[in-house]
Chain A
Amino acid sequence: MKHTLAVLVENRPGVLTRIAGLFSRRGFNIDSLAVGRTENPSVSRMTIVVEGDDRIIEQVCKQLHKLIDVIKLNDITEEEYVDRELILIKVHAEPNNRTEIMQIVDIFRARIVDIGRNTLIIEATGDQGKINAIESALRPFGIREVVRTGKIAMVRGAKHKTETNGKTIV
Chain B
Amino acid sequence: MGITGAEMLVRCLEELGVDLVFGYPGGNILPVYDALIGSNIRHVLVRQEQGAVHAASGYARVTGKAGVCLATSGPGATNLVTGIATAYMDSIPLVVFTGQVPTIMVGTDAFQEVDITGITIPITKHNYLVKDVDELPRVIKEAFHIATTGRTGPVVVDLPKDVSSAVCKAKPPQEVELRGYKPNYQGHPTQIRNLARLIQEARRPVIYAGGGVIRSGASDLLRTLAERVKAPVTTTLMGIGGFPEDHPLSLGMLGMHGTPYANLAVQECDVLIGLGVRFDDRVTAAVEHFAPRAKVVHVDIDPAEIGKNVLVDLPIVGDLRLVLTDLLELVEEKDHQEWLDTVYAWRRERPLAYGSPDVLRPQYVLAKLGELTRHRAIITTDVGQHQMWTAQHYGFVRPGSFLTSGGLGTMGYGFPAALGAQLGAPDTLVIAVTGDGSFQMHMAEMATAVQEGLPVKILLFNNNSLGMVRQLQHFFCNRRYTAVDMVNPDFMKLAECYGAAGLRIQQPAEVEPVLTEAINNGRLTIIECIISDTELVYPVVPGTKGLHEMIEYTEEN
A residues bordering B, Cβ < 8 Å? 9-10, 14, 17-18, 21-22, 25, 55, 58-59, 62-63, 65-72, 164-167, 169-170
Tell which of B176-184, B426-434, B453-461 binds the partner. B176-184
* Contacting pair A69 B180 (CB below 8 A): yes
Best-buried of A22, A62, A63, A68 by chain B (most CB within 10 Å): A68
* Contacting pair A62 B303 (CB below 8 A): yes
* Contacting pair A14 B179 (CB below 8 A): no
Smallest Cβ distance from A5 to chain B, in angstroms? 15
* Contacting pair A68 B304 (CB below 8 A): no
**Contacts A21-B121, A21-B122, A58-B307 known; A165 to B302 CB distance under 8 Å?**
no
Which residues from A are CB-within-8-Å of B179?
A: 71, 164-166
* Contacting pair B122 A62 (CB below 8 A): no
Which residues from A are CB-within-8-Å of B307?
A: 55, 58-59
CA distance A156 to B225 in the complex (A): 49
6 additional A-B pairs beyond A10-B180, A70-B180, beta carbons within 8 Å, are A14-B118, A17-B118, A62-B306, A166-B182, A170-B184, A170-B303
Which residues from B are CB-within-8-Å of A18?
A: 121
Which residues from A are CB-within-8-Å of B180?
A: 9-10, 67-72, 167
Which residues from A are CB-within-8-Å of B122?
A: 21-22, 25
Which one of A65, A67, A68, A69 contacts B303 once the chains associate, using CB atoms below 8 Å?
A65
Which one of A9, A22, A59 contacts B308 once the chains associate, using CB atoms below 8 Å?
A59
Best-buried of B117, B303, B306 by chain A (most CB within 10 Å): B303
Which residues from A are CB-within-8-Å of B70?
A: none
Interface residue? B286 (CB, 8 A): no
Which residues from B are CB-within-8-Å of A169?
A: 303
CA distance A6 to B308 in the complex (A): 22
B residues bordering A, Cβ < 8 Å? 117-118, 121-122, 125-126, 129, 146, 178-182, 184, 302-304, 306-308, 317
CA distance A63 to B125 in the complex (A): 11
Top 6 A-B pairs, shortest CB-CB distance = A62-B304, A71-B180, A68-B126, A170-B303, A68-B181, A164-B179
- For B150, the closest partner residue in chain A by CB is A66
* Contacting pair A66 B302 (CB below 8 A): yes
* Contacting pair A68 B182 (CB below 8 A): no
Smallest Cβ distance from A15 to chain B, in angstroms? 10
CA distance A21 to B127 in the complex (A): 14
* Contacting pair B182 A17 (CB below 8 A): no
CA distance A58 to B303 in the complex (A): 10
Which residues from B are CB-within-8-Å of A165?
A: 179
* Contacting pair B121 A59 (CB below 8 A): no
CA distance A9 to B306 in the complex (A): 24
Best-buried of B121, B129, B184 by chain A (most CB within 10 Å): B121
A-B contact pairs, 30 of them (CB 8 A): A9-B180, A14-B117, A14-B118, A14-B121, A14-B129, A17-B118, A17-B121, A18-B121, A21-B122, A22-B122, A58-B307, A62-B303, A62-B304, A63-B304, A65-B303, A65-B304, A66-B302, A68-B146, A68-B178, A68-B180, A68-B181, A69-B180, A70-B180, A72-B180, A164-B179, A165-B179, A166-B179, A166-B182, A170-B184, A170-B303
Which residues from A are CB-within-8-Å of B126?
A: 67-68
CA distance A69 to B179 in the complex (A): 8
CA distance A68 to B304 in the complex (A): 14
CA distance A9 to B181 in the complex (A): 12
- For B146, the closest partner residue in chain A by CB is A68
Smallest Cβ distance from A152 to chain B, in angstroms? 21
- For A164, the closest partner residue in chain B by CB is B179
CA distance A14 to B125 in the complex (A): 14
- For B127, the closest partner residue in chain A by CB is A14
- For A165, the closest partner residue in chain B by CB is B179
CA distance A65 to B150 in the complex (A): 13
- For A63, the closest partner residue in chain B by CB is B304
- For A14, the closest partner residue in chain B by CB is B117
CA distance A55 to B307 in the complex (A): 8
* Contacting pair A66 B146 (CB below 8 A): no
Which residues from B are CB-within-8-Å of A166?
A: 179, 182
Which residues from B are CB-within-8-Å of A10?
A: 180
Which residues from B are CB-within-8-Å of A68?
A: 125-126, 146, 178, 180-181
CA distance A20 to B129 in the complex (A): 18
Which residues from B are CB-within-8-Å of A58?
A: 307
Smallest Cβ distance from B160 to chain A, in angstroms? 14
Best-buried of B302, B306, B307 by chain A (most CB within 10 Å): B307
Smallest Cβ distance from B384 to chain A, in angstroms? 27
CA distance A70 to B180 in the complex (A): 5
- For B153, the closest partner residue in chain A by CB is A66
Smallest Cβ distance from B302 to chain A, in angstroms? 7
* Contacting pair A59 B304 (CB below 8 A): yes
Smallest Cβ distance from A41 to chain B, in angstroms? 14
- For A73, the closest partner residue in chain B by CB is B180
Best-buried of B129, B179, B182, B184 by chain A (most CB within 10 Å): B179
CA distance A68 to B150 in the complex (A): 12
Smallest Cβ distance from B122 to chain A, in angstroms? 5
Smallest Cβ distance from B287 to chain A, in angstroms? 13
Which residues from B are CB-within-8-Å of A17?
A: 118, 121
Smallest Cβ distance from B33 to chain A, in angstroms? 27
- For B304, the closest partner residue in chain A by CB is A62
- For A70, the closest partner residue in chain B by CB is B180
Smallest Cβ distance from A18 to chain B, in angstroms? 6
